Amino acid sequence: MSQQRVAVVTGASRGIGRQIALTLASRGSAVVVGYAGREDAAAQVVREVTEAGGRAVAVQADIADEKAVAALFDAAEAEFGGVDVVVNSAGRMVLGPIAEFDLDDLDSMHRTNIRGTFVVLREAVRRVRDGGAVVTLSTSILGLQFPAYAAYAASKGAVEAMTLIAAREVRGRDITVNTVAPGPTATELFLEGKDEATVERLAKTPPLERLGTPQDIAGAVAFLAGPDGRWVNGQVLRVNGGIV
């Protein structure tokens, strides 16, 4: 009997991260549900996985805190025996024009999105077993260049750079490292504060004329993390319905 793969998913209590955790569990992985503050939501993800016959545990971690991230990986090794897949879905988005952007917001967002991604990548390349996969989350905003997204896009540009370099640094270990860059996706976080006309306009932008769903993004991540994605490495996969 082959060894069960073990996935660590950050930002897994809601939105895209939640769906990634559920999808990986449905495809046979034991899952560590990483979360920052929503303990109740993370516990619900664990319940859904276990009720479906899977294995999961929730662990709190601020991804920018290297000790917390090390403890997250420690928990995966203690509970399930190791780590094969790491998906860094945790992140923050603060919007505003450059001329008016609050630098405290810039620093806090970049702490999570840049430092946090670096910390998770560092732990991943140290700990992921040979034959594993690492996936980070970027954004298709890098190609769209919408006003008010400069600070957020800058942080995700850093995510792409770090991810593609990490892919080269794990040479010889049969570990793939890729990033998925979603387009507009119908999550609670995305829809919050947008009127119906704005949502409809964004939905009509891609040739497929709809918003993405968390399942769309999770399916792409699961492909990269699974056996069919083994020859895709050091790539940015823009999952956006053809918007860019």
- The total of other beta-carbon atoms located within 10 Å of residue 165's CB is 12
8 A C-beta contact, residue 134 and residue 176: yes
Q: Side chain identity at 39, as an amino acid letter?
A: E
Q: What is the distance between the alpha carbons of residues 62 and 76, in angstroms, rounded to a whole number?
A: 16
Please tell me which residue in 35, 80, 152, 190 is annotated as part of the active site.
152
Rounded Cα distance, 34 and 21, in Å: 9
For residue 90, which of 159, 40, 148, 142 has the smallest C-alpha distance?
159
152 has catalytic annotation = yes
Distance CA 54, CA 52 (A): 6
Interatomic CA distance for residues 198 and 237, integer angstroms? 26
Alpha helices (H) along the chain: 15-26, 39-51, 66-80, 103-110, 116-127, 141-144, 150-169, 188-191, 196-204, 214-225
Q: How far apart are CA 202 and CA 182, in angstroms?
A: 13
Distance CA 77, CA 81 (A): 4
- The owner of tokens 């709809």 is 210
Catalytic (active-site) positions: 152
